Structure 1
Amino acid sequence: MLYAPTGIAVVAEDLAGMRSQAFGLAEYVALPARFCAVQATGLLHRCLPSSLWPRPLTALSEKPFPLHDDLVFSVAGKGGAVGTALHHRGRHVVQIQNPRIRPDRFDLVIANYHDEIDGPNVLLSRTALHGLTALKLADARAQWRDRLHVSGRPLLAVLVGGANGRFRFGREEAESFADRLVSAARQTGANLFITTSRRTALEATAVLRDAVESVHGTLWSGGDDNPYRGLIACADWLVVTADSVSMVSEAVAGTAPVYVQGLPGKSRRIGLFLETLEKCGRIRMFEGALDNWPVQSLDDTPVVAARMCQRLGLENLFRDTLSTVVRSV
C-alpha cells in the first residue's frame, strides 16, 4: 500500500478527548493535520446508531472536507461511520478506537486491549493515544520544576476528574479521597498539589480545597497557567481518579509512580485497562499510603505510530525523534 499523502484529515466529533487522541497520533507523522468535524444534526443522524446511518458523509461538515490524497484518521463510532464511507470512496482511513463495525472496512484500526477487538488490520495499545510526548514533558519539567518543588519537599500531585455515566464523584467520595490525600501528605512531608477538571463537581472541589489548605498545599481549578503537564513531569507521586482512561494514560507517560483512586461505579473497559497497567507494574490502586517502586515511562503512542507508518508504507514520515526522552533538564 504505497502512496504519498499530503496531509492528515481528522474526522471526529468536536470533543477534546477525540481531538487529543487523533492529533496525538498525528504528531508522529510528518504531515500537516487539520480537523474535519462530524456534526450529527440531521433527524436520521440523531435517531439512528451511527452504524446504521444511510448517508454518513452528510454528517461531515462541508469545510474543511478531507482532500482526496489525505490520510484520514476517523475517531470513535460516529467518526468511524464517516470513515467507512470515505474508505468506500477510495480514501486511506485509519480508525481510532473500536468502531463497533467490522475492522476490515478500514485500512487500519488502532484500539486498546481493553476494547476486546482483534483482526489482521488491528493494532492494539495498552494506553490511550495522546500527544504528551517525552519532549513536551521535558519542557514542562524545565518550566515547572522550581515552582512545584517547595523547599525541597517531594511533590504529591493529584489529577481529579469527576462523575460520568459510569462513576460517581460527589461530596462523599471527595471527603474520603481528601482524608487519604492529607494523611499521605503528612506521612511523607510532601507538597500536596491538586488539579481538578471541568467534570469535577463544585461541592467536590470545595472539599478538596479545604483539605489542601489544611496541609498548606495548592489546588488549581481553572484559569491561566495550567499546571497539568508540569505536575505529570515533576511529581514524585501521582494520584489519578479512575474515571478517565486518557488522564491515567497521560499520567503514566511521566516517570513518577502512579496511584489510581477507585470510584463507586463500574466499567468493564476501564477495569480491564487498569488491570493491564497493574500487571505492567505501572500503577497501583490508592489506599492512602505512598511507596516508591521502580517505574518507567509508559506511552504506546509512538510504538503504535511507528507500526502504523510501517503498515501503510509511510516509514519515511515517522517522526521518531519525538519519543526521545530528554533527561538533561
Structure 2
Amino acid sequence: MEVGAGPLSIRVVTDGRAGIENQALGLAEAVARLTPATIDVRRVQWRPAFDWLPVALKAPGMLDASSNLSLPKHGEPWPDLWIAAGRASLPLSLAARKRSGGRTFVVQVQDPRMDPDRFDQVVAPAHDGLTGPNVVSVTGSPHRITAEALGEAGPAFAALLGPLPRPRVAALIGGRSRVFDLTADHAVVLANRIAGAVEGAGGSLMLTFSRRTPEAAERVMRDRLCGIPGLIWDGEGANPLFAILHFADHILVTEDSANMAAEAASTGKPVHILPMVALRPPGKFARLHADLRERGASRPFDGRLETWTYEPLAETARAARAVLQAMTQT
C-alpha cells in the first residue's frame, strides 16, 4: 500500500465509550502527526436482539439505528486505514478486511481474543501477553495525551489552576471492576493519605473521578478533601483532565486503570500508584505496574510526594510508526 501519495483517510470505529474511543482515536491522531491524514470517527451499537450473538454471527445489518456506520457499497471508496477498538467493533473490522479486498488496512486495538492474523495488525497491551508477527505490544494502551495537547488545554483553565499553590497534585481515581473495588472504608484511607501528603507539602489538589467510582466512595473522598486548595471536578462542563495533567507536579493514580496509568506516565511527571481493594489476583495489572516501575515512571504511593525524572512513555507514537511501516509493506 502506498503511503504519502495523498492524505491518508482514517476511519475510527468504536462503541463510543470514552475509554475505548480514546485508544483508537489516540492511535489515529498519532498516525496523522506522522503523515497527512483525515480522521472520520464512527460509533456503533448492535440492536439488542443481536447484541448477545458471538462475533462470527454478527453482520452489519444488525447494527442499531443509532450507529453512524455503514460499510461502503460496490464502487464506493474505502478508507485507507481502519482503526477500531472494543468488542462491538470486531465483526465490522473482520467484514471491512474481507470486503475491502485489501484496499483498507485494518488495525484492531486491544486483544481481540481471537487469532490476530484475522486483522492486518493488532495493537495490544503488553500485559495481556498477546504475541504474533502482526502484533504490536505497547505498555499500557494508546491514548490521546501528548505534551502539545496538554499545553493547548492549559490556557482554558489557567485562571483556575495556575494560581494554585505548589506542589500541585493530580489525583485520578478509578473504581469498581472485576479485579478491584473502592469501598467506602478504603476511600477513607486513601483520602487521609492524600490529604496528609498534600497538606504536609503545603500544596494543592486537582481531583477527578471515573464513571466506575462508587457513589459512597466518591462522597467520602469529596467530604474529606474539599477543604484542601484546588479543584474537585464535579463532572459538569469541559473535562479538565488535560489541563490538570499540564499543571500537575505529581500524579496519583489508582491501580485499577491501565489507561490512566499509561496516560500519566506519558507526561514525564512522577506517577504515584494508589492501592485498591483486590477482589482477585491482579494478574495483568501487576505486570503493567511492574513495567512502569522498571521504566522509572511510577512508584507505589507511600504517603510522600517524592520527585524523580524519567523518559516519558511514547508508546502511542511508536505504535503509529509501526502501523505506517506495515502499511508500506502490504
> Which structure 2 residues correspond to residues 122-201 of structure 1 after superposition, within 5 A?
122-145=135-158, 147-150=160-163, 152-201=165-214
Q: 1:215: how far off?
A: 3.4
1 CA distance for matches of 2:71 and 2:121? Answer: 18
Query: Contact 2:166–2:249 (CA<8 Å) still a contact in 1?
Result: no
Sort the Cα spacing of 1:257 and 1:59 in 2 relative to 1 into closer, same or farther, 3 A.
Answer: farther
Sort the Cα spacing of 1:283 and 1:108 in 2 relative to 1 into closer, same or farther, 3 A.
Answer: same
2 CA distance for matches of 1:136 and 1:167? Answer: 30
2 CA distance for matches of 1:25 and 1:213? Answer: 36
2 CA distance for matches of 1:242 and 1:166? Answer: 10
Answering whether residue 59 of structure 2 is matched by residue 56 of structure 1, we say yes
Sort the Cα spacing of 1:113 and 1:151 in 2 relative to 1 into closer, same or farther, 3 A.
Answer: closer
Structure 2, unaligned runs of 5 or more: none
Give TM-score scaled by structure 2 length.
0.86
Sort the Cα spacing of 1:48 and 1:174 in 2 relative to 1 into closer, same or farther, 3 A.
Answer: same
Give TM-score scaled by structure 1 length.
0.86
| Secondary structure at 1:138 match in 2 | helix
2 CA distance for matches of 1:196 and 1:55? Answer: 35
Render the CA deviation track for 1:38-80: whole Å, top value 9, x for unaligned.
Answer: 322254x433332xx3243334467432444212112233312
Q: 1:6: how far off?
A: 5.1
Answering whether residue 269 of structure 2 is matched by residue 256 of structure 1, we say yes
Q: 1:146: how far off?
A: 5.6
Equivalence for 2:22: 20
Answering whether residue 211 of structure 2 is matched by residue 205 of structure 1, we say no
Query: Contact 1:128–1:301 (CA<8 Å) still a contact in 2?
Result: yes
Render the CA deviation track for 1:109-131: whole Å, top value 9, x for unaligned.
Answer: 11110121111111111131111
Q: 1:181: how far off?
A: 0.5
Equivalence for 2:78: 69
Answering whether residue 233 of structure 2 is matched by residue 220 of structure 1, we say yes
Equivalence for 1:324: none
Query: Contact 1:38–1:59 (CA<8 Å) still a contact in 2?
Result: no
1 CA distance for matches of 2:223 and 2:241? Answer: 20
Select the residue among 95, 120, 127 that pairs with 1:114. 127
Q: 1:20: how far off?
A: 0.7
Query: Contact 2:253–2:272 (CA<8 Å) still a contact in 1?
Result: yes
Structure 1, unaligned runs of 5 or more: 315-329
1 CA distance for matches of 2:144 and 2:111? Answer: 20
Q: 1:149: how far off?
A: 4.5
Q: Could you tell me which amino acid in structure 2 is paired with residue 201 of structure 1? A: P
Aligned-pair identity in percent equals 31
| Secondary structure at 1:93 match in 2 | strand
Query: Contact 1:171–1:203 (CA<8 Å) still a contact in 2?
Result: yes
Q: 1:164: how far off?
A: 2.2
1 CA distance for matches of 2:245 and 2:52? Answer: 41
2 CA distance for matches of 1:54 and 1:255? Answer: 44
Equivalence for 1:35: 41
Sort the Cα spacing of 1:36 and 1:227 in 2 relative to 1 into closer, same or farther, 3 A.
Answer: closer
Sort the Cα spacing of 1:26 and 1:307 in 2 relative to 1 into closer, same or farther, 3 A.
Answer: same
Render the CA deviation track for 1:253-287: whole Å, top value 9, x for unaligned.
Answer: 21320111121124422222112111111011112
1 CA distance for matches of 2:137 and 2:241? Answer: 27
Query: Contact 1:37–1:60 (CA<8 Å) still a contact in 2?
Result: no
Select the residue among 46, 52, 55 that pairs with 2:51. 46
Sort the Cα spacing of 1:147 and 1:217 in 2 relative to 1 into closer, same or farther, 3 A.
Answer: closer
| Secondary structure at 2:37 match in 1 | coil
C-alpha RMSD of the superposition: 2.3
Segment of structure 1 superposing worse, 220-229 or 122-131: 220-229
1 CA distance for matches of 2:82 and 2:126? Answer: 23
Segment of structure 1 superposing worse, 5-14 or 165-174: 5-14
Q: Could you tell me which amino acid in structure 2 is paired with residue 38 of structure 1? A: V
Query: Contact 1:7–1:32 (CA<8 Å) still a contact in 2?
Result: yes
Query: Contact 2:60–2:70 (CA<8 Å) still a contact in 1?
Result: no
